[in-house]
Amino acid sequence: MARMLRSTLTTLFAASAMLAASTGLASAQTVEFSWQPNAQRFWHVDGPAVISLFHNGQCTMWAQERRPDIVRQGVEAIVAHEIASGQPENMGDWDARFWPANARLAGIPTGNAPRAHALIVFQPGVLGAGSSGHIAFVQRVYPDGSFLISEMHAPVLWRVTHRRLTAADGRLPGVAFIY
């Protein structure tokens, strides 16, 4: 996307200079255009399109709505890594099962204990998660260690539901929290 934009802008500036020269304008000048991609520019240009990809009624939509900071920081970290590696800008894979890795790449803490306002990620097969995993939002943690989550597409698309999980559920292999 950024390379296409860069190419389009370069072509536009070249065409403008040729038009000015062909009309005989004495004040026409060739303008050098230099634009280097970076992760923040990628987000500024493509952020709304990235966010629209989550608008699908799935669990990741609810997670993105509750914690948009994780998506933005994750996408920026992935894009920065791609640019530094000389690769085309890529926003990464945002199936639920990949959120902890994306968060860690962005320097966002992850762990194994529930906290209010954290995201909880279930790897495929854990507590009924499908092949893409499942992600939910931790609403509150109770004194006994159990916690209340809100989630979308569990089981109905576009519907947010709530359930209370035990402290032991939060410690299962394949469960991670993103803070």
119-177 pLDDT tens trace: 999 999 999 999 999 999 999 999 999 999 999 999 899 999 999 999 999 999 999 99
CATH of domain 2-22+34-178: 3.90.1720.10
Hey, is 110 helix, strand or coil? strand
Report the half-sphere exposure of 8 (CA within 13 A, side-chain side). 5
Q: Which amino acid is at 141?
A: V
Surface-to-core class of residue 104, CB atoms within 10 Å of its CB (0-12 exposed, 13-18 middle, 19+ buried): middle
Q: What is the pLDDT of residues 14-65, one digit of tens each?
A: 555 555 555 555 566 677 665 567 787 878 788 888 888 888 999 999 999 9
Question: Is the full-model pTM beyond 0.85?
Answer: no
Contact indicator for 57, 158 with CB cutoff of 8 Å: yes
Residue 89 banded pLDDT, cuts 50, 70, 90: confident
For residues 70-83, average pLDDT: 94
Note every long-range contact of 20-29, with CB atoms under 8 Å and residues 24 or more positions apart, other chains counting.
Answer: none
Nearest to 64 by CA among 101, 109, 94: 94
Chain centre distance of CA 70: 7
Helix (H) or strand (E) holding 49: helix 39-53
pLDDT reported for residue 58: 96
Per-residue pLDDT, 98: 98
- 162 with 149: CB under 8 angstroms? yes
In the prediction, which pLDDT does 4 show?
Answer: 47
Q: How confident is the model at residue 67 (pLDDT cuts 50, 70, 90)?
A: very high
Amino acid at 5: L
Q: Are 138 and 147 in contact (CB under 8 A)?
A: yes
When computed from its CA atoms, the radius of gyration of the chain, rounded to whole angstroms, is 22
Of residues 5 and 38, which shows the higher confidence score?
38
Question: What does the alpha-carbon distance between residue 132 and residue 15 come to, in Å, rounded to a whole number?
Answer: 47
